[in-house]
A and B are shown apart, each in its own frame.
Chain A
Amino acid sequence: MFVPFIYELRAREVPVGATEAVALARALEAGLHENSLDGFYHVARAILIHSERHLDDFDQAFLKTFRGVEVEAKKLKDELFDWLKEARENLPELTDEERALLEELDPEELERLFNERMEEQKEKHQGGNKWIGTEGTSPFGHSGRAARQGIRVGGKGKGRSAIKTADARLYAGYREDLTLDVRQMQLALRKLRTFTRVGGDEELDLEGTIAATAKNAGELEVVTQPPRRPNTRVILMMDVGGSMDPFAHLCSRLFSATKKSSHFKELRTYYFHNCVYGRVYETERFTDPIRVNDLLHECGPHYKLIMVGDALMAPYELMSPGGSIHWEEDGERAEGIVWLMRLQKHFRRSVWLNPEPQKYWLGNTIENIASVFDMYPLTLDGLGEATTHLMKSK
């Protein structure tokens, strides 16, 4: 039980290793779990998990591994009735008739049927579509694939049992691979902060003064130093309009998080549509254009470039010269991808944040752009990785 559980956690990218496994073994040896599955759940969670964002993964892995154990521990009291929390997205292939049939059952009816079937049923049962058990399509039991919420059977009657706790997925909200709010974004962006001491000696260096005075046999010697100042310059370029509309809310949150971050020495924001061509714009309505070449001239390679966009467009918009849907006045008719490569080459550190879910990143223009820019999903995890990437020295 133990080892598969650890591997299940690792499969979900929860960082568990030998250290945690050994600690857990010691805790179990000391009898901390009081020989119950509930006890084990709490002990294992305390030791194996190090952050609330993994609690949900833990609950799911626990369910998956210990499902069989729960089946043993069922057939208990009336209190076991609990509405099966069925993730809607897990609905498998049910026939329409089955679904319609199940849809019609109301809760009271369900409970009555349940009691009837409890009478009829003698053995534990898995699969099938009538009996109470696990993994079936009957509205009873748990982990099943009934088309609507049914009655959940299993777990222990007293208090909230481990399986119930795990099943309730109370911690789903703390997952970090979901998209995020402004404050979380700010915290992620805070990693971009660096300080350097530059400028005139304006601050008293207390430690230095004490050390120097002590060395100087007690004769006071004042040492000063320049104050700490933020030293990161950031350029944020955002795709707006068209296919980006569904993500407008998310992007505006990123935008305000970036704007509010006071720890950048300089922040420039520009907009583009679909892909960067000869110029980018200072407003969302595409006024106040600035030529990309001028921008590259003004901003040295030490600026951190953050591109935000879904990177989805018609291939010709990316690949053919003058693919821009806007008419270009000056003769700069390079392909979109060339402009992107120019940007990427110019800056020492750049990232592309993509609000599209990662599973859609293959077989379209996203793939092309990801070959130019280091691309990260626009989620808290993704943003964290992106900022780490931006801070690496090169």
Chain B
Amino acid sequence: MSQPFTRFQGTDRYLSNESLESAVNCALVLERPLLIRGEPGTGKTLLAEAVSEALGMKLIRWNVKSTTRAQDGLYVYDTVQRLYDSRFQDKDVSDIENYIELGPMGKAFDADERVVLLIDEIDKADVEFPNDLLNELDRMRFVIDETQREVAAKQRPFVLITSNAEKELPDAFLRRCVFHFIDFPTPELMEQIVHVHHPEMEASLVQQAMETFYEIRSMKRLRKRPSTSELIDWIAVLKAAGVTDVKLEGNLPFLGALLKKEQDLVAFADQLTGGRRWRS
């Protein structure tokens, strides 16, 4: 176990920190899935891209939806297509293999090189979904029932799983994962992050935007507090529109980029006027 390995240290576009790197490297060395939790917009999904870029591994995404089943990740047997083809007799329908389409997980196992498999927002699916994946994640192999072909990982993929903490994940599943919780960035780190994304921005505007952003974030009664991705989008819009200074007031330019719920916009206006009255 003591052979050297490639360490992940973040990329130019993705700023990481010691504890995040530690978690990624643990998962790489122990060949266990890495479970990332944190507020929406703190860069959970981007981490997969960063790892794939930094370590030169291909990225395979699996976006989980509420209707996703574990089976979909392995393979899908397209019975309808086969049935359809059988009517015209221009294709070979006797070979079921032609109608087996590997899912993201199947593809990751089947790849010749080590890849990054991103299972995005695992908590969106049914409560039992993670449990259904346990065996496959552990053994990194499965059998296609229809053809009895076994798909086994040549190189155990680096599995990265993100979750918004909406649902409890099963204990048995958690125990097999390396865990990391992404904190909301401190203002200093946030400044660096903004700089990475908008290197040529004027410092004064960035400063103003950041102050406004943190003030909005600290407001109470917001359903969805704006996070990193919203700030970066907002600054991009400000830049595109040539806005030169931002102040926290009623007609804040492009507020929609930060607050996305109607109730939040109302709460924002309320607190702004309320605050005024109180201050003056």
Contacts and interface: CB of A to CB of B under 8 A. Distances in A.
Interface centre among A30, A55, A170 (most CB of B within 10 A): A30
B91 interface: no
A47 B1 contact: no
B79 A50 contact: no
Contact of A43 (B2, B22, B168): B22
A51 interface: yes
Contacts of A29: 1-2
B83 A214 contact: yes
Nearest to B38: A52
B34 to A, nearest CB: 8
A38 B21 CA distance: 13
Given A26-B1, A47-B26, A55-B181, A42 B19 contact: yes
B165 A52 contact: yes
Contacts of B80: 210
Contact of A23 (B22, B23, B32, B35): B32
B173 to A, nearest CB: 9
B210 interface: no
B180 interface: yes
Given A38-B18, A46-B26, A218 B87 contact: yes
B183 interface: yes
B26 A32 contact: yes
Given A46-B178, A159-B18, A23 B167 contact: no
Nearest to B176: A19
B166 interface: yes
A27 B167 contact: no
A50 B183 contact: no
Interface string A9-35: 000000101011001001101111100
A31 B30 CA distance: 12
B165 A42 contact: no
B200 to A, nearest CB: 29
Contact of A20 (B2, B29, B175): B175
A14 to B, nearest CB: 12
Given A31-B2, A187-B166, A26 B18 contact: no
A170 B186 CA distance: 12
B181 A15 contact: no
Interface of A is mostly: helix
B143 to A, nearest CB: 20
Interface string A283-315: 000000000000000000000000000000000
Contacts of A190: 167
Interface in B1-51: 1-2, 5, 18-19, 22-23, 25-27, 29-30, 32, 35, 37
Given A46-B180, A52-B181, A159-B18, A187 B167 contact: yes
Nearest to B171: A15
Contacts of B5: 30
B35 A50 contact: yes
A164 to B, nearest CB: 13
A65 interface: no
A42 B171 CA distance: 21
B86 interface: yes
A334 interface: no
A49 interface: yes
A30 B83 contact: no
Interface in A236-264: none
26 contacts: A15-B171, A17-B175, A19-B175, A23-B178, A26-B1, A27-B26, A27-B29, A30-B2, A30-B29, A32-B25, A32-B26, A39-B22, A42-B18, A43-B26, A45-B22, A47-B30, A47-B179, A49-B179, A50-B174, A51-B174, A52-B37, A171-B181, A187-B166, A211-B79, A218-B86, A384-B168
Interface of A: 15, 17, 19-20, 23, 26-27, 29-33, 38-39, 41-43, 45-47, 49-52, 55, 159, 170-171, 174, 187, 190, 210-211, 213-214, 218, 384
